[in-house]
Amino acid sequence: MSCRLDYSQELKWERSFLKKKCKQVGVEHEFHKYQMRLSANYIGVFLVLHLGFIASHSILLLMTSAPYYDSIYIDIAVYLISAVVVSVTMWVNFYEDFVLRHFYLTYLTSILVVIFFVVIDVSLCIYHAYINWETMSIFDTYLMLTIYVFLPIPHILPPLLLGGSATLFYVIFRIVNHSLRRNYMFITTHIAHHICLNLLGTFFRIIRDIIVRSSFLDRHQYFMEDLWIRNARKQEKVFLHTILPMQIAQPIESDIRNRIKYSEKHRDQVSPNRREHIMAIQLHPDVSILYADVVNYTHLTTTLSVNNLIALLHEIYGRFDNAAKRFMVQRIKFLGDCYYCVSGMITPDPDHAKRCVELGLCMIENMRDVRTKQNVDIDIRVGVHSGEVFAGVIGTAKLQYDIWGRDVIIANHLEATGVPSYIHVSERTLQLIIDFGFEVHPGTQTALADPYLVKHNINTFLIRLNAYAHKSINLNIDKFEYINTISPMLDTKGQNQNVEQELAEEFKKMPVGPSGICKAIKKLLRFGASKDMKDVKHTDTAIGYYMMQFHDPRLEISYVNQPDYLLKYSILLAWIICLSLAYTQMVFVSGFVPFASYLSALFVVSLTMLLIVAWYKKLCIWRYSNRPHRYSQFSCYLFRIGENIQSSLVKRMSIYLYTISVYFAIVSMMLMDCDKSEFQLVQIESKLYHYEPEYSMCFPPWVLTTMVSLIISMSLIFTRIPIMMKVIVSTLAAITYLIVVFFQFEIIMHHTFTTNPYLSPEYCHGEFVVIILLKLYFKERQTEFNNKINFKWRVELLKKQHDGYITDQSISVLLHNILPSHVVNVYLNALAKHEFYYENYEMVAVMFASLKNFPMDLPNLRLLNEIISEFDRILTFYRDYYVVEKIKIVGCTYMAACGLDVRFSKVYVDTRGPHDSVIREVMRARRSLMLLNKNSGMIRKRDEVVFVLTTFALDLMRTLWVCNKNMSVYREIYDTDLSIGISSGEVMAGVVGASQVHYDIWGNAVNMASRMDSTGVAGKIQVTEETATILVDYGVECSYRGLTYVKGRGTLPTYFVDIDDNYEFKYSRMDMDNGDRSSSSEGSTKA
């Protein structure tokens, strides 16, 4: 068994990787600025702690040295001066802008503070020696922690050099100043202690740099995700509002998002709302409807080339869109050569009729201009009627805004019965515009004979474009310019010009630590903006004040259960400290405790094994990073153990507690080795016989204190352990040691060096441990706060990414409900270049299916929504081998096409499903094709789209039959059936218009399919002669209807597709015989 090494997650927590990443994304400069603010916050914490330490130590001196004030005044004065000097020196680092201009000040102030501390320490020790008091330095360990944790000196190497220099000076001073009989033992343990302090500080610096950089990069990503989502949502709304007004778009948008979210949570379940089709329809009681139709369009589709036809339509509809926008008229959609719009619908307008008439006049003028410039024989008829409409969206696929109602039909009939270059208006519309000076003529004779207009008593009139209209109306016909509301959203370069500035402002909001002790300093200095303070306060509300726990338990549990990819550094540091403690124990343990050295060696070995497991993966990366390598089974086992440990909170806590227990076991052996009786005897004899005693029978108190300080430091600095546990363990360690100092071994502690004359040594030891505990607690509090904020941002980032995914998916759904799937990417590229998009297909089948005798009132619109939604659902069965695209819904007419970017596979897979009728018909047609190929040669593959679309039309008829059966209770309201027309041939498709995305198809096949529907018979599928020939080749019988008058083409032969009572195709005898033989052969084969 072998495996490969995956170091991808650990790599994200490598300082070199994070540093490189900061440079790659261009935030290194902002990171250093943030690091300065972070350092300023640490300085604030340090100054508060330092002032507290100086004050408490001075009070302690005054309380314990009451009779000897003369000997401690100088000490107290020096401490107070140090507090003032250190505060003044560090104060400059609070002024960020000033320090940025003079960056050397961070180094200078740090060096000056270190020198000042060392000089004070040495001066006081020399002074105390001068007055015959041999004392210990008070600031050595305190200063080492200050250098690495609180000073603003940046990076890793400078504080290491500064700490190393301070260590060297203290070691030399210890050698020169203290003449101890066992001097080498103290010196070596003193060196070991300082090495551990430097390693602790370096460890803290590295970990802080990693965490801060990770947090910084997360904030950068958080901002970029937020920026993308904001732009994406704007884009989504623009896309949606190109087809739907805002009040209609809202429920559609919410429905799409909810369905995506539900599908994520219940991947294996069907949405309970699957059959509940949302219907967003509103009543607009006072509007005007305009219908415009291009005259002689049918002739153009047979004479113009694809490019010229699409360019001409784009020019015309672009001008119309611009004019509609200028006159505040809402374009609904266009159907081939028909363009219709409504005024007063989105925003109520008392002049809605006037605006529609003015728009119609502008359309006539623009059409004249196009006719002259393009040299084409076209004109326009316009019909305008005022009344009420139902407007909204029905169906579930290719959502488009549409209008319904009796007044919509009247406006359509006014256009159809009008005269080119005139506006045909109803009497109601005329009454609304009578005062505006339009030239009015009587209506047409065709309108007087129109059954629908006569039925509803509609009197009509004609309005002509005259000199008054030219003078009073802005009929601007300047050259059409492409107006697009979407392409600006795609221009990310223009949108993101100020991203860097916004990002810099975002980084300024990043909190640098919990508010509290530093808040007063920030307010006093006013170096942070009030807005930043609000951001910090807002962040603090989610996190506890003392233990930095999340108030949300679920968030806290998620946080503590994170994998610890920095665990190997903690174990390495714990191992080094264990070596130092074990060495100290072996040096000073006299042998009173049996097997002490062996136990210490066992502890070191156990931690060494943990160290190997933790570092094994990293060592393998160093060894084989430049080439691929397969590892042995033993290596794989170690990898899994290491990954399991760093991923398990319980195992990490067990290692942490074991490590601290090992430390205490080592210290306990030193305490057990101490013979207090012998110590007291030597102490008495030394006083009686006046000689300097040798205390080799017990531990050196200051050595023990430094060991405990290392234990407390390690217990607080260990990574990814809940801070509450670390605080409890470190506090228990300090309390235990204080009990040792003041109760169990108080006599030994009392006979050791002090830090000031007349100050009891046990107080010095206790104060030393307490100040180390406090400094490291506040350090850990700052670190934990940044860790928690980092994690919270990551959680929010995941939410942002998920929101981005939902937004992206909803945009995709919307786009695919505007354009066919294959058009989206191509269209967006063309849109970004301000080009119109078009495509040409040699063979496309087009279908128009109209519901006959369907009244257009609100109750029936609900039924229409259900019917259309069921039609849309059938589309899902035509997405693999055969692709049927829904083009649009116009009133009660369903328009679809097959052959737009068709990709037929060579092998058909018989996958049985809920729509076996489609598969059965296709299989039967293929058997017919096979026989025809043998007899009459190869039939063009592309002709198959005709059969596929006819099968789809048959499915619509079946679906309507089911709907009628299920809605039998409504038979008294309506009795509807489908009239379907199908034609085939060359088709042009594209996206035209100026202000709204609209995909449509044009060509003779489209016009003929529409005429086949309008001249058809309910319950029948009428096709052209060419289409019937193709269907017959596929074995489907077609009956000759006769010569039928087709508007724009004259009389043409038409056919009905033969369908039986079960809504099945009637196939030719040849196909039926072939099917029977195929069935027999299949049965014999199975037998």
Sequential DSSP letters for 760-827: -HHHHHHHHHHHHHHHHHHHHHHHHHHHHHHHHHHHHHHHHHHHHHHHHHHHHHHHHTTS-GGGHHHH
* Residue tagged 């994520």 (tokens): 264
Region 308-327: mean pLDDT is 86
Q: What is the DSSP string of 69-107?
A: HHHHHHHHHHHHHHHHHHHHHHHGGG-HHHHHHTTHHHH
d(C-alpha 873, C-alpha 851), whole Å:
18
C-alpha 141: how far from chain center: 47
Q: Does an H or E element contain 837, and which?
A: strand 837-852
CATH number of 278-485: 3.30.70.1230
Given a contact cutoff of 8 angstroms between Cβ atoms, the answer to whether 935 and 926 are in contact is no
Return the half-sphere exposure (C-beta side, CA atoms, 13 A cut-off) of residue 222: 21
pLDDT of residue 236: 64
**Matching fold, domains 278-485 and 821-1086:** yes
Question: Which residues are CB-neighbours of 1000 under 8 A, at least 6 positions away?
Answer: 334, 335, 336, 887, 888, 989, 990, 992
The region of weakest confidence among 130-134, 359-363, 1019-1023 is 130-134
Does the pLDDT value for residue 975 go beyond 60? yes
pLDDT of residue 563: 92
pLDDT of residue 534: 47
pLDDT of residue 697: 52
d(C-alpha 864, C-alpha 869), whole Å:
8
Backbone φ and ψ for 787, nearest 5 degrees, come out as -60, -45
Question: Which residues are CB-neighbours of 10 under 8 A, at least 6 positions away?
Answer: 565, 617, 618
d(C-alpha 317, C-alpha 332), whole Å:
12
Does the pLDDT value for residue 155 go beyond 80? yes
Return the half-sphere exposure (C-beta side, CA atoms, 13 A cut-off) of residue 811: 22
Provide the pLDDT confidence category of residue 109 given band limits of 50, 70 and 90: very high
Provide the pLDDT confidence category of residue 987 given band limits of 50, 70 and 90: confident
Provide the pLDDT confidence category of residue 941 given band limits of 50, 70 and 90: low
Given a contact cutoff of 8 angstroms between Cβ atoms, the answer to whether 847 and 981 are in contact is yes
Does the pLDDT value for residue 861 go beyond 50? yes
Does the pLDDT value for residue 245 go beyond 50? yes
Region 930-934: mean pLDDT is 47
Name the token pair of 549.
């726990």
pLDDT of residue 243: 64
C-alpha 255: how far from chain center: 20
Provide the pLDDT confidence category of residue 917 given band limits of 50, 70 and 90: very low
pLDDT of residue 578: 96
Is the model more confident about 880 or about 674? 674
Q: Which amino acid is at 946?
A: V
d(C-alpha 232, C-alpha 809), whole Å:
11
Rounded mean pLDDT of the chain?
81
Does the pLDDT value for residue 496 go beyond 60? no
Q: What is the pLDDT of residues 366-420, one digit of tens each?
A: 999 999 888 888 999 999 999 999 988 888 777 788 899 999 999 999 999 999 9
The region of weakest confidence among 394-403, 533-542, 557-566, 926-935 is 926-935
Cβ atoms within 10 Å, residue 598: 9
Given a contact cutoff of 8 angstroms between Cβ atoms, the answer to whether 639 and 10 are in contact is no
The region of weakest confidence among 488-502, 778-792, 991-1005 is 488-502
**pTM for the full model?**
0.68
Region 1039-1051: mean pLDDT is 87
Q: Which residues pair with 888 in a beta bridge?
A: 895
Q: Which residues pair with 631 in a beta bridge?
A: 3
Is the model more confident about 467 or about 141? 141
Name the token pair of 522.
């920030």
Q: Distances in Å between the alpha carbon of 710 and those of 577, 653, 662, 874? A: 7, 19, 13, 74
C-alpha 973: how far from chain center: 49
Is the model more confident about 387 or about 268? 387
pLDDT of residue 425: 96
Region 58-63: mean pLDDT is 89
Provide the pLDDT confidence category of residue 891 given band limits of 50, 70 and 90: confident
Given a contact cutoff of 8 angstroms between Cβ atoms, the answer to whether 194 and 171 are in contact is yes
Does the pLDDT value for residue 184 go beyond 80? no
Most trustworthy range by pLDDT among 333-342, 534-543, 1013-1022:
1013-1022
Q: What is the pLDDT of residues 69-91, one digit of tens each?
A: 777 889 999 999 999 999 999 99
Name the token pair of 775.
């400094």
Question: Which residues are CB-neighbours of 221 under 8 A, at least 6 positions away?
Answer: 797
* Residue tagged 């003015």 (tokens): 358
Q: Is 971 exposed, middle or buried (0-12, 13-18, 19+ CB in 10 A)?
A: exposed
SS3 992: coil
pLDDT of residue 748: 83
C-alpha 846: how far from chain center: 41
Q: What is the pLDDT of residues 800-855, one digit of tens each?
A: 777 777 777 776 676 667 666 666 655 555 554 445 567 788 889 999 999 987 87
pLDDT of residue 1087: 32
Cβ atoms within 10 Å, residue 1050: 9
Cβ atoms within 10 Å, residue 467: 8
Q: What is the CA radius of gyration of the chain?
A: 44
The region of weakest confidence among 453-462, 471-480, 706-715 is 471-480
d(C-alpha 422, C-alpha 776), whole Å:
88
Backbone φ and ψ for 282, nearest 5 degrees, come out as -125, 150
Is the model more confident about 179 or about 488? 179
What is the separation, in whole angstroms, between the first and last Cα of the chain?
48
Region 449-455: mean pLDDT is 93
pLDDT of residue 811: 67
The region of weakest confidence among 144-148, 535-539, 772-776, 874-878 is 535-539
pLDDT of residue 596: 79
Most trustworthy range by pLDDT among 2-11, 264-273, 627-636, 655-664:
655-664
Helices 701-717 & 183-241, crossing angle to 10 degrees? 10
Does the pLDDT value for residue 999 go beyond 90? no
C-alpha 410: how far from chain center: 49
pLDDT of residue 996: 66
Q: State which CATH number among 3.30.470.10, 3.30.390.10, 3.40.50.1370, 3.30.70.1230 fits the domain covering 821-1086.
A: 3.30.70.1230
Return the half-sphere exposure (C-beta side, CA atoms, 13 A cut-off) of residue 641: 14
Q: What is the DSSP string of 225-246?
A: HHHHHHHHHHHHHHHHHTTS-H
Does the pLDDT value for residue 331 go beyond 80? yes
d(C-alpha 347, C-alpha 349), whole Å:
6
Backbone φ and ψ for 154, nearest 5 degrees, come out as -85, 175
Region 459-475: mean pLDDT is 73
Calculate what percentage of the chain has a pLDDT beyond 70. 79
Return the half-sphere exposure (C-beta side, CA atoms, 13 A cut-off) of residue 237: 8
The region of weakest confidence among 723-732, 907-916, 925-934, 1050-1059 is 907-916
Q: In 3D, which of 625, 751, 660 has the Cα closest to residue 698?
A: 751
Q: What angle do CA 1055, 1056, 1062 make, to 5 degrees?
A: 165
d(C-alpha 828, C-alpha 67), whole Å:
90
DSSP strand pairing (1020-1024 vs 977-991): parallel
* Residue tagged 């039986």 (tokens): 1060
* Residue tagged 């009197």 (tokens): 459
Provide the pLDDT confidence category of residue 798 given band limits of 50, 70 and 90: confident
pLDDT of residue 429: 95
d(C-alpha 654, C-alpha 125), whole Å:
43
Q: Is 539 left (phi over 0), alpha (psi -120 to 50) or beta?
A: alpha
Q: Does an H or E element contain 894, and which?
A: strand 893-898
The region of weakest confidence among 102-106, 473-477, 546-550, 592-596 is 473-477
pLDDT of residue 818: 66
Domain boundaries, the chain: 27-223+510-521+546-801, 278-485, 821-1086
Is the model more confident about 894 or about 1067? 894
Q: Is 627 exposed, middle or buried (0-12, 13-18, 19+ CB in 10 A)?
A: exposed
